[in-house]
Amino acid sequence: MPEVILSDYFYGDESEEFVFFKIPRQLITNPKFKHVSTDAKLLYGMLLDRMSLSARNDWYDKDTWRVYIYYTVEEICEDMTCGRDKAMKLLAELDTKKGIGLIERIKQGQGKPTKIYVKRFTTQTVPPKPAPPPPEPFAPISQVDFSNVQRSEIPTSRGGKNRRAAVEKTDPNHTKRNQTELIQPDPSISPRKPPAIGLEMERFERREELKANIDYERLRREYPYDDIDDLLELMLDTVCSTAPAIRIGGSDIPAKTVRDRFLQLDSEHIQYVIDALKQTTTKINNIRAYLLTALYNAPVTIGPYYSAAVRHDFH
């Protein structure tokens, strides 16, 4: 029998050597998740690990019993050794609104951390739709004998035996328009939606989409109404613009590129733009152009901005 050797004690944080993050296998192997980045999958495993804290801290909704966790962007940056912008991007990949739907984030406002509901997932193969039944064999209609039927009130000299060959030729209907013209679709019967109504509907839908993206109601509670409404309308005008290009920071950028960037903005980007505007001491001659540039650049400048602020606070 082999000798059993007892290992040494654990010292310091050596016990962490046998603590692992668990990532569901299907998150790696299932084609549904192939487009999810490896870092986002790792973050999901780290979020699952945090669920153990929920039981110890009573982090669950008292009415629905749904468990949630707290995992701030700053903690994610530290644990994954990444910038704030990347951490926000990884959360967006997993989020219900913009990503694959593995987490749901509920912002509480008033300086409270965001609740994160980590969702369970199952995958199953959807059975193919059954093939439609084969069409019934065509049964020709028995030929009707019209030989003794007088179609017209006006007698004709054509004999009964020849009437069958000429059955497709009907008597004139005494109108200038042929009968087939009457069955052509008339645009006035089901008119298309007038352009003005269509544009107004699209603008309404875009406004609701932007309001959901930026958590509009919460921002209006924390900031002056006018500031949030003005930024929303500026974003809406930009997203609904029909111009081929939009001028941003002195350069003409394709409208689609600007539109896609604006649709990625969330509440943290809006807060960042407002805070940066408050700290600006130089005179702004064209506030619209300034805000357009600030909103467009927000996703790529928010990380360095807050990093610089943190370094400033430590000095």
By the 10 Å C-beta count (0-12 exposed, 13-18 middle, 19+ buried), 295 is classed as buried
b/e code 96-108 from CB counts within 10 Å (16+ = b): eeebbebbbbeee
Torsions phi, psi of 129, nearest 5?
A: -65, 140
Q: What is the pLDDT of residue 57?
A: 79
Say whether 103 sits in a helix, a strand or coil.
strand
- Name the range with the highest mean pLDDT among 37-46, 92-101, 282-291: 37-46
The tens digit of pLDDT for each residue in 26-35 reads: 888 888 888 8
Distance CA 203, CA 113 (A): 33
Torsions phi, psi of 95, nearest 5?
A: -75, 160
Q: What is the pLDDT of residue 144?
A: 47
> Strands (DSSP E) along 195-250, which ranges?
245-248
Our CA angle for 28, 31, 37, nearest 5°, is: 50
User: How does residue 12 score in pLDDT terms, banded at 50, 70 and 90?
Assistant: low
* Per-domain boundaries in the chain: 14-118, 202-314
The tens digit of pLDDT for each residue in 37-48 reads: 999 999 999 998
> Strands (DSSP E) along 175-274, which ranges?
245-248, 251-254
pLDDT at 150 over 60: no
pLDDT at 132 over 60: yes
The tens digit of pLDDT for each residue in 163-189 reads: 444 444 444 554 444 444 434 444 444
User: How does residue 263 score in pLDDT terms, banded at 50, 70 and 90?
Assistant: very high
Q: Which of 23-27, 110-114, 181-185, 224-228 has the lowest mean pLDDT?
A: 181-185
Stretch 210-230: mean pLDDT: 87
Distance CA 268, CA 274 (A): 10
- pTM of the prediction? 0.40
Average pLDDT, the chain: 76
Distance CA 4, CA 14 (A): 22
Q: What is the pLDDT of residue 53?
A: 77
Q: Which of 98-112, 189-203, 266-280, 283-297 has the lowest mean pLDDT?
A: 189-203
Q: What is the pLDDT of residue 79?
A: 92
By percentage, how much of the chain surpasses pLDDT 70? 65
Residue type (1 letter), 127: P
